Structure 1
Amino acid sequence: MEELSAPEPEPEPEPEPEDAGDAVIATRGLTKRYRGGQLAVDGLDLAVPSGSVFGFLGPNGSGKTTTIRMLMGLIEPTSGTARVLGRPMPGAARAVLPHVGALIEGPALYGFLSGRDNLLRYDAADPTADPRTRRTRVAAALDRVGLTAAAGKKAKAYSLGMKQRLGLAAALLQPRRLLVLDEPTNGLDPQGMREIRSLVRELASDGTTIFLSSHLLDEIEQVCTHAAVMAQGRLITQGPVAELAAGARGRLVVTTPDAGDAARVLKEQGVGDVVVTEDRVTAEPPDGELAEVNAALVAAGVRVRGFGVERASLEDAFVALTGEGFDVAG
């Protein structure tokens, strides 16, 4: 008697946007209000371009994590709409999520299983995953995040950084059109952070859109092409990273062994926010001509070794927009 094998599961149809020019993620008036009236996300209009590495920034309690959970269909919005890969969420979650890799709020792991076995479990739970290539794909994902040598080690013995790597490996088990990463370098040493940043760039160069939440402004500036800034549940700004930084004023920098005298002269010239270090004075750029300020320093006997305006960083733009420092992990 001929033995019948169970049919392989058919993959979910790949979602296609209504318009090829649509953003990979697009929200309109997206709002989440919890019981008790707490407004976590307020009327969010977000647009993530295809092929971008999109940084998502905001102070603690700004609504970033709530937004990500709505985008992934984990919670429903109170009002407004969210579209991912051209399809409405959470309604089209079954069609969309097979094409999305996600690492949100840290990976959920079986501590008694090895890193390799955790990934095998993850892959087996995916109805679109081909079991015939499972071990090969798991090995490739482990290699890509630098965990091959620790693949047989139990996950409970992994450091926080290793767990982050394993969670990222789970998101990379299959080719994805979109990767959603929440603090992907959390717990990594500087070398590990560089490796993950390099991997993000590599994935983006392959055409994967990356949506990356991070409290590290330097990280966003190094790897992201676009960014959005949230504060108190509302979108403050979004756009190319270079344009966001350009929208903030830079800092006037004077290098001199006479820092105290330089600071005094700058204040006399009406220059604000003067900060003095050992041989360097920084301040807000003056409204008037820089040459006149430099001439006043020289006339006062200040030995000017360097004088100019440094380009604004993303941190400068963030502080200008939110009025807060960069404790933005919430």
Structure 2
Amino acid sequence: MIATRALSKRYRGGQLAVDGLDLTVPAGSVFGFLGPNGSGKTTTIRVLMGLIEPTSGTASVLGRPVPRSARAVLPHVGALIEGPALYGFLSGRDNLLRYDAADPTADPRTRRARVEAALDRVGLSAAAGKKAKAYSLGMKQRLGLAAALLQPRRLLVLDEPTNGLDPQGMREIRTLVRELASDGTTVFLSSHLLDEIEQVCTHAAVMAQGRLIVQGPVADLAAGARSRLVVTTPDTGDAARILKEQGVTDLVVTETGVTAEPPDREPAELNAALVTAGVRVRGFGIERASLEDAFVALTGEGFDVAG
């Protein structure tokens, strides 16, 4: 659905925002595009949507080159990029009616029905009559998403779609993304929230400082980081000593317990050894590696760094 080859974008003044990007988005996937703020995600999306020209390299969307074929491609793509552009003096409903009227492929006979369906889908039916300037940031995000859903789309491109939403709103958007994917829409989702990507995406790519670090199925990316043995206990010193005697390596002692390299032997045997030695074990288990663990393992840095 999306492919780039050696894609680069350098702005005036020499800033290299995207550096040699090779990206492949499979059809039918929910693809998470990850990276800290300033990593090149939005610049890449703007190239894919034909809003800016790349400095070098190529990009294609739905099998057609962009920006050259943008007019043919974009009617099949819904997008929410850097927040919605709204007419503040119009109601939410009237904004969507204006958006739809500007689409030459939209059927005017079904316009109002489609607008009401889109408003309902993002939970804005009750506020549809309010002027957009009175909307909160989260409501504006919802309205922008509704605009992207006015017609069936083969591809949906969302740039930080949960920006400004409360936890309940974030859950609703995640549910909506899953529903769209189950209906056959490919979703390309840009975010700097690792937990969000891990919960909803089937595939992901990680950007840092304009370069692609890794891409692939989310499960495979997380598997690239090590799981950890986690023992919660107030007797941290004794726990570390017993685990070391049992052949456990790479121990890290914290205020609340001990973490270590997962053992080769049966974990239940280690737990029994701790209890037999009088260690008060309040929690014991193997903690699965997360996407955040994979990112730190790949880059050696936290995810909220500037770049």
Shared fold (TM-score, shorter chain, > 0.5): yes
The runs of 4+ residues in structure 1 deviating greater than 3 Å are: 263-280, 283-301, 303-308
Secondary structure of 2:89's counterpart equals coil
Deviation at 1:172, TM superposition (A): 0.2
C-alpha change, 1:256 and 1:145, in structure 2 (3 Å) is same
Q: Distance in 1 between matches of 2:226 and 2:292?
A: 11
Mapped contact 1:58–1:329 kept (Cα < 8 A)? no
**What 5-or-longer segments of structure 1 have no aligned partner?**
1-23
C-alpha change, 1:273 and 1:74, in structure 2 (3 Å) is farther
Q: Which moved more, 1:120-129 or 1:166-175?
A: 120-129
RMSD: 2.6
Q: Distance in 2 between matches of 1:92 and 1:295?
A: 65
Cα offsets for 1:133-184 (capped at 9, x unmatched):
1111101100000000000001111111100100000000011000000111
Cα offsets for 1:252-298 (capped at 9, x unmatched):
20132313432466689997875555643324547999799768856
Cα offsets for 1:47-97 (capped at 9, x unmatched):
000000000001232111111111111111111100000000000000000
The alignment covers a number of residue pairs equal to 307
C-alpha change, 1:266 and 1:230, in structure 2 (3 Å) is farther
Deviation at 1:225, TM superposition (A): 0.4
Cα offsets for 1:184-231 (capped at 9, x unmatched):
111111111111111100000000000001122111111100000011
C-alpha change, 1:70 and 1:272, in structure 2 (3 Å) is farther
Mapped contact 1:58–1:328 kept (Cα < 8 A)? no
Mapped contact 1:57–1:328 kept (Cα < 8 A)? no
Q: Which moved more, 1:28-37 or 1:40-49?
A: 28-37
C-alpha change, 1:186 and 1:268, in structure 2 (3 Å) is farther
Q: Distance in 2 between matches of 1:184 and 1:233?
A: 21
Deviation at 1:311, TM superposition (A): 1.1
C-alpha change, 1:271 and 1:213, in structure 2 (3 Å) is farther
Q: Distance in 2 between matches of 1:310 and 1:154?
A: 48
Partner of 1:107: 84
Mapped contact 1:30–1:44 kept (Cα < 8 A)? yes
Mapped contact 1:258–1:303 kept (Cα < 8 A)? yes
Q: Distance in 2 between matches of 1:272 and 1:59?
A: 32
Mapped contact 1:59–1:324 kept (Cα < 8 A)? no
Within-5 A mapping of 1:187-226: 187-226=164-203
* Aligned pair partner of 1:323 in 284, 300, 303: 300
Secondary structure of 2:231's counterpart equals strand
Mapped contact 1:85–1:96 kept (Cα < 8 A)? yes
Q: Which moved more, 1:47-56 or 1:282-291?
A: 282-291
* Aligned pair partner of 1:171 in 127, 135, 148: 148
Mapped contact 2:7–2:22 kept (Cα < 8 A)? yes
Q: Which moved more, 1:280-289 or 1:160-169?
A: 280-289
* Aligned pair partner of 2:116 in 139, 150, 156: 139
Cα offsets for 1:75-125 (capped at 9, x unmatched):
111111000000000000000001000001111111111000110111111
Deviation at 1:326, TM superposition (A): 2.8
Is 1:84 equivalent to 2:61 in the alignment?
A: yes
